[in-house]
Every structure is written in structure tokens, then in C-alpha cells.
């Protein structure tokens, strides 16, 4: 299995359960691993033959920056759905964190895997 990944993609969004969190944008950080077969792209040297990580990043930035979920669990699930359906990724491992959400901790978040490993 080949993996294409994005590390520390930072996006501003409305996220949280408290009234003050609904009034501001906070940073969420994504680390994403996506299963892909890169052999054909390696042969052709064409971006059209691979999972275009720039397109993935642009789509997620657009989606997340306009979302207003209360829970990071909900946001993570929606991100996974986008990757699995819109980009035909067969498997994704996603770490979504919310830095500074807990006093004394660098960040807090969720890690999920969806789909089937090839």
C-alpha cells in the first residue's frame, strides 16, 4: 500500500460547545494519511494519475473554514467522508487536533481510520 500524506494542515474554523467558542475562529490541525496506488503516476509522471494532494488540501480548507461544528469528532467524520467519497480514497487515517483547548496540554483531538486498507 502506498500512502500520500498531509502534515500539520492548519485551518481556522468555528468549533466548540461553549458560547464564547461559537463567536470566534479557532485553529484546528490535520495530519492525514491516504491510501493510494502511485505506480501509474510514477510511470507517467502526471498529476492526473495520482491523488492530487493540493486538490485535497484546497477542498478541506474550503469545507473546514466554513463549517461550524460543535465537536471535533463530527468534523473528523465529515472530513473522512469527503476523502472517501469525493477523492475515492479507499482508506484514510486522520488526526484532527485543537491546540490549546485544554489548559496545560499542547492540544487535544481525535484519530480515526475509515475505509478498508488495500
How far is Cα 45 from Cα 30, in angstroms, rounded to an integer? Answer: 27
Q: Which stretches within the chain are classed as H helix? A: 39-44, 53-65, 72-86
Q: Do 21 and 14 touch, CB atoms closer than 8 A?
A: yes
Catalytic annotation, pick one of 54, 58, 98, 116: 98
In a 3-state reduction of DSSP, which class is residue 37?
Answer: coil
Beta pairing class for 109-115 and 26-36: unpaired
How far is Cα 67 from Cα 60, in angstroms, rounded to an integer? Answer: 10
**Is 98 an annotated catalytic residue?**
yes
The residues pairing with 30 across neighbouring beta strands, listed in sequence order, are: 9, 96
Task: Indicate which residues carry an active-site annotation.
Answer: 98
Amino acid at each position: 500500500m502506498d500512502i500520500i500524506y498531509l502534515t500539520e494542515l492548519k485551518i481556522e474554523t468555528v468549533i466548540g460547545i461553549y458560547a464564547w467558542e461559537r463567536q470566534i475562529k479557532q485553529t484546528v490541525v490535520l495530519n492525514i494519511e491516504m491510501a493510494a496506488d502511485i505506480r501509474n503516476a510514477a510511470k507517467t509522471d502526471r498529476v492526473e494519475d495520482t491523488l492530487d494532494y493540493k486538490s485535497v488540501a484546497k477542498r478541506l480548507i474550503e469545507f473546514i473554514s466554513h463549517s461550524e461544528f460543535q465537536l471535533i469528532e463530527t468534523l473528523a467524520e465529515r472530513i473522512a467522508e469527503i476523502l472517501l467519497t469525493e477523492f475515492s480514497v479507499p482508506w484514510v487515517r486522520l488526526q484532527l487536533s485543537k491546540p490549546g483547548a485544554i489548559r496545560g496540554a499542547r492540544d487535544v483531538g481525535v484519530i480515526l481510520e475509515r475505509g478498508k486498507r488495500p
